[in-house]
Structure formats: C-alpha cells, structure tokens
C-alpha cells in the first residue's frame, strides 16, 4: 500500500526521461543515433541475400536489427516525450525535429529488409515462421507478408520515408504546437483548453454555458490553420493510399490492426444500430435536469451535485487497491509506476492535452502522461493509462518486434483496469441516490468510448471521402459534417449548437492516427467481454489474463482472444458487449427512479 503520511503535491509528479539515454540531453540522443547508423552498415551487407539466409542466420540478423530499432526508439521517444510537456520550447522542438530527421535517414537504409522478406516464397516463409529459432519474430514476419501487395519499389519507399519528415510529420507537429497553446477565458482567467473542458462537468448550467462559449471562442483564432493542416493531411493520406493500392481510406488502418474491412464495418454497423442507447440516456438525463432537451455543453453535467475531489495520494491508494483486489502481481507492476519517475501528471502551459502511455522500448519501461484536475474521472484515467502501462511492462520479454499489439487490442488492459477501479468506487454504495452519480458517470464513459468514438469514425469517413471525391473542405463544411455525425448519435435528446461545430478541431487522433478512433469502441467492447469472463470465473481467470497481456503482439488478435475465452470471429460478438452497456443503462434508470429523480 502507498504511504499517505506525507501528502504529495501532484505538481511534483514528473517523469525522468534521462535513463533512456547513455548520457544526458542532446549528446545522448545523437550518441544513440550514431550508434544505430554504424550498426546499419553491418545490416546493409546482407542486402539482396535475405531470402537465402538460414533460420540461424536470419535470427542473428534480426538480433542486430532489434539493436538498431532499440537505439532509434530510445532517442526518438526521449525527444517526443520532452516535446509533449513543452511544446512551446524552441530548443526542444528543434531537438525533436533533428532526431526525427536523422532517424528517418537511418530507417530509409533498412527499408530493403521488409521489401526483400515480403518476396519470400509461401512455402519458405511458412518454414521460417514455424522455426523455433525465429519465434521472437514469427508474427512480425507474418505481418511483413501481409503488406506485400501494398509495397512500392525501394527507391519509392525511400523517397516517401525521407520526405515524410518535411511532410505529414511536420504538419502533425505544427498542429500540436497550434493546439497545445489554445486557452479559454473563464471567469476572467485564461486557462488551458483541457482545464476548460473539464469545467463542462460543473453543476451550474449557466457556468457550463459560459465555459462552452469560452471554448468556442478559444478555438476560433487558429481554426482556419487547423482546417488547412487537416486538409493537407487528408490529401497526403489519399496519395499514399492510391500509390499503395488500398481500396478505401480505412483499409491501411485495418490491415495494421489485423482486422478485415468487413469485420470493422460489422463493428461500426452494430454500434450505429444501437444509437438508441445514448439517445435514451440523454433523454433520461434531460428529465433529471428538468429540461426538455440537453444542450451539447450539458452532456457531461452531473446528475447529482458531486464536489468530490481526489488528491494524488488518495487516488494512488484507490487504484492500487483496485488492481490488488484483482491481481497482486499486476498491482506490483502498478507500484513500479508510483515508486519511480514514470508519470508526468500536472497540467502545465503548453503541455499536450489528454493522457497517454508511451511504451518506449522493451529494454526500458513505459511512461504515462496525465493532465490531473483532481476529478473522479482523473482517477479512472489514471487506472486506464496504468492498464496500458501494465500491458507494455508485462510484454517487454516479447522483444522489440512483438511487444505491441494492434490498436484494436491495445485498449483491452486499460479498459479492464478502469472497470476494476470503477467497481472499487462503487463497492459498498447501496443508497440509490449515492449510486446514481457513479453509475451515470460510468455509463457516460462507456458512451464516450463506444458511441462517440464511432460517431467520430463516421465524421472521419465523411471528411476523407469528401476530400477525395470533391476536394478541399472549408471550415464550414468540416463543421457541417461534424454536426451531422454527432447529431446522428445524439438524436433529438441533444441540441447541437452552432459553436459546437468547431470542436472537431482540437481532437488530435484525426491528425496523428487517421482511422484510429474505432479501435476505442473495439477495445471497449472486447474489454467488457473479457471482464464478464472474469466475473463468471473469478480468480481462475487471472493467470490467463496475465498470459494474454504478456503475449503482447506475438499472436494474431483472434489467437490472443482465445487465451481468455473470447471469440473475435463470432459475428454476434459486438452485440454481447453492447448488451453489457445496455444493462448498465437499465441499472442507471432504476437508480434514478429509486432516488426519485424521474
């Protein structure tokens, strides 16, 4: 358990990135990159001969390649994580850019590896993949072969790779610099955008309306620039997809997720087909708030005034207790994050918004970024990101090529950890009036992760399609498509305001990881099904869960699912997860009725 005798200020919770490097600062970054470049010279001696190597020789080759990837990963993770907490620091930005440019040049020299291995004859590929000497790269080899039909010639791949630093990645960086300094004027004070958005949970309706207007006003100054950045990246992706012969804008993402276009479409259709769940909730919420219809800025309003705040030490104890009640082994990993400087928690000017877990490389450890505001949702966000951290930590023995999973499975451990923590928050609360705010908040998180993310996928689908078929989108057209996709999910229960039409512009996933958002819904529904297995089986389930996390990305998603008794190939799989959310809605409705709110 965490010692809470001496209260910890969240302002002191900052990560230490220096252990990523052999020596501090820029000198350490470029020492790693120089060493990686030197090792590439050895790898280049195998050019043109990879398909003829024996299993032993190929295993030795991949060991050297892993060393190169590790060094590049350490250097670029250091610079990008430094930038994420100081996006306005020109020296940090310059260091990150120079490191990315040098890493890209090194990476272009080993493009031949995947191009050559993709040409392995089917029988020879199967023989190598089945050889125990190549177990640490077997699924990685399978992945290379999946991309065979979408690879270009080596000169073309080199040009695309090296130009990307001055292309897509440069536009993404510009977006980060633009969006990270957005502020909103609330109560005569300039506050970071994320802090303003957190105030949409304020119990006073007038305050929420004022905050929403301030957010819209804060988004206005750079809106045309962010729209231009988005347009440019939409066009850039369409060129890539055309050159690589991907049939749709989402196909490349689906391939990296090891999911067929048809299976992803089935997920989207299943969620859209259950839009009645969020619409039913928002209609109930309107009645509880005493209005005919919610404004878009009222969606996160508390149904019961709840001023509970959590300091950092209390949050640590609660999250540790939750994880420990499930698995002491996993809780011990959680404590590694708390004991060491692996988390950056406070909100700061020019710090990237939101929260994330950076896996870094298997020879090191993960890092977490938070923006702590002492709300209950921050506790659940901490539990969520620690789930990612646990997953990354346990999968480190899989090595550089198998540590990470496809995005569709990447949310499993995080959502599971968040669900366990919510159970701890709810544990022992029997009064319907006390249960109601907890259930409502949890339901809203489920809606945000499943239904809102799919609605955002529908927005992405619309803008990518229109950019290709019609041309550049205006700010107004982005707003129209955003409002249409949101209204389809929210229904008649929520009024989508004119100001809300610009709020697409602060969501970084559209910029950094096109097509990513549906993976949240995929991961949420998968994690709910996994958690249902745990509830059915109890402690006997835990070893299989740890086995799945420890496997990292060494297997296909369907094989990983089988470890914990989940059949991802079942067409009815998505409905099972959606049924769990609908049961949560029913529980919330019953609590509202029992508390006399409707």
Q: Are 514 and 236 in contact (CB under 8 A)?
A: no
What CATH number has the domain bearing residue 122? 1.20.140.70
Question: Averaged over 505-516, what is the pLDDT?
Answer: 94
Q: Which range, of 284-288, 369-373, 392-396, 529-533, averages the lowest pLDDT?
A: 529-533
Return the sign of the alpha-carbon dihedral for residues 246, 506, 205, 448. positive
The Cα 138–Cα 554 span in angstroms is: 8
- Please check the confidence at residue 2 and state whether its pLDDT lies above 50: no
Query: What pTM was computed for the model?
Result: 0.83
Q: Would you say residue 499 lies in a domain?
A: no
Q: Would you say residue 39 lies in a domain?
A: yes
Domains in the chain: how many in total?
A: 1
Q: Would you say residue 1 lies in a domain?
A: no
| DSSP H or E run through 259 | none
- Compute CA distances 68 → 25, 48, 106, 112, 530, whole Å: 20, 19, 9, 15, 36
| Residue 306: pLDDT band with limits 50, 70, 90 | low
Q: Would you say residue 575 lies in a domain?
A: no
Q: Would you say residue 251 lies in a domain?
A: no
Q: How does pLDDT run across 319-371, given as a tens digit for each residue?
A: 999 999 999 999 999 999 999 999 999 999 889 888 999 999 999 999 999 99
φ/ψ of 140, rounded to 5, equals -60, -40
Calculate the dihedral angle through the C-alpha atoms of 471, 475, 478, 481, rounding to the nearest 10 degrees.
-110
Question: Averaged over 481-506, what is the pLDDT?
Answer: 97
The mean pLDDT value of the chain amounts to 93
* The pLDDT of residue 365: 97
* The pLDDT of residue 5: 53
Q: Would you say residue 37 lies in a domain?
A: yes
- Please check the confidence at residue 1 and state whether its pLDDT lies above 70: no
* The pLDDT of residue 573: 83
* The pLDDT of residue 63: 97
Q: How does pLDDT run across 224-251, given as a tens digit for each residue?
A: 999 999 999 999 999 999 999 999 999 9
* The pLDDT of residue 165: 85
* The pLDDT of residue 6: 63
Domain membership of residue 23 as a residue range = 11-166
Question: Averaged over 165-186, what is the pLDDT?
Answer: 92
The Cα 259–Cα 323 span in angstroms is: 30
Supply the DSSP string of 397-442, one letter for each residue. GG-TTTSPPPHHHHTHHHHHHHHHHHHHHHTT---HHHHHHHHHHH
The Cα 382–Cα 2 span in angstroms is: 15
Quick one: 351 exposed, middle or buried, by C-beta within 10 A (0-12, 13-18, 19+)? buried
Q: Would you say residue 66 lies in a domain?
A: yes
CB atoms within 10 A of CB 471: 9
Q: Would you say residue 131 lies in a domain?
A: yes
Q: Percentage of the chain surpassing pLDDT 90?
A: 81
Query: Which two tokens mark 242?
Result: 């055309």
């Amino acid at each position: 358990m965490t010692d809470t005798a001496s209260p910890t200020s969240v302002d002191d919770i900052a990560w230490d990135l220096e252990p990523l490097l052999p020596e501090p600062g820029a000198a350490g970054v470029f020492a790693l990159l120089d060493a990686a470049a030197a090792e590439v010279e050895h790898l280049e001696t195998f050019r043109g001969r990879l398909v003829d190597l024996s299993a032993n020789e190929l295993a030795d080759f991949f060991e050297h390649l892993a060393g190169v990837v590790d060094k590049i990963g350490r250097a670029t993770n250091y610079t990008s994580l430094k930038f994420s907490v100081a996006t306005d620091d020109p020296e940090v930005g310059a260091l990150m850019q120079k490191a990315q440019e040098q890493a890209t040049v090194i990476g272009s020299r080993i493009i031949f590896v995947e191009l050559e291995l993709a040409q392995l004859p089917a029988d020879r590929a199967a023989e190598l993949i089945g050889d125990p000497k190549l177990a640490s790269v077997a699924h990685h080899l399978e992945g290379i072969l999946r991309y065979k039909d979408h690879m270009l010639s080596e000169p073309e791949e080199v040009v695309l790779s090296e130009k990307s630093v001055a292309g897509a990645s440069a536009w993404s960086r510009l977006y980060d610099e633009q969006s990270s300094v957005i502020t909103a004027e609330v109560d005569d004070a300039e506050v970071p955008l994320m802090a303003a958005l957190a105030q949409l949970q304020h119990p006073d309706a007038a305050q929420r309306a004022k905050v929403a207007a301030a957010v819209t006003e804060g988004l206005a100054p750079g809106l045309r620039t962010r729209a231009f950045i988005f347009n440019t990246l939409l066009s850039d992706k369409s060129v890539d997809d055309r050159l690589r012969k991907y049939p749709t804008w989402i196909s490349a993402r689906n391939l990296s997720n090891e999911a067929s276009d048809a299976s992803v479409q089935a997920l989207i259709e299943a969620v859209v087909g259950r839009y009645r769940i969020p619409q039913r909730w928002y209609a109930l919420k309107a009645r509880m708030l005493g209005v005919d219809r919610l404004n878009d800025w009222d969606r996160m309003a508390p149904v019961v005034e709840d001023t509970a705040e959590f300091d950092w030490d209390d949050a640590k104890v609660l999250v540790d207790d939750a994880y420990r009640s499930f698995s002491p082994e996993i809780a011990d990993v959680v404590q590694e994050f708390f004991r060491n400087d692996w988390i950056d928690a406070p909100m700061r000017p020019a710090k990237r918004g939101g929260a994330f877990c950076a896996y870094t490389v298997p020879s090191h450890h993960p890092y977490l970024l938070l923006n702590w505001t002492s709300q209950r949702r921050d506790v659940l966000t901490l539990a969520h990101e620690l789930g990612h951290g646990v997953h990354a930590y346990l999968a480190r023995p899989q090595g550089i090529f198998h540590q990470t999973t496809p995005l569709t499975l990447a949310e499993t451990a995080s959502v599971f950890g968040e669900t366990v923590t919510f159970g701890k928050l709810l544990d022992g609360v029997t009064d319907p009036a006390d249960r109601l705010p907890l259930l409502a908040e949890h339901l809203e998180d489920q809606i945000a992760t499943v239904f809102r993310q799919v609605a955002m996928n529908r927005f992405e689908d619309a803008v990518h399609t229109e950019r290709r078929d019609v041309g550049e989108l205006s700010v107004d057209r982005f707003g129209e498509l955003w409002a249409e996709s949101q209204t389809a999910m929210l229904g008649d229960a929520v009024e989508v305001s004119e100001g809300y039409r610009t709020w697409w512009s602060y969501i970084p996933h559209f910029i950094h990881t096109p097509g990513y958002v549906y993976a949240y819904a995929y991961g949420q529904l998968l994690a709910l099904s996994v958690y249902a297995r745990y509830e059915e089986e109890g402690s006997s389930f835990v070893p299989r869960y740890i086995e799945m996390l420890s496997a990292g990305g060494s297997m296909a998603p369907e094989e990983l699912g089988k470890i914990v008794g989940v059949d991802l190939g079942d067409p009815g799989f998505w409905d099972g997860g959606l049924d769990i959310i609908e049961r949560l809605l029913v529980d919330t409705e019953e609590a509202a009725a029992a508390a006399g709110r409707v």
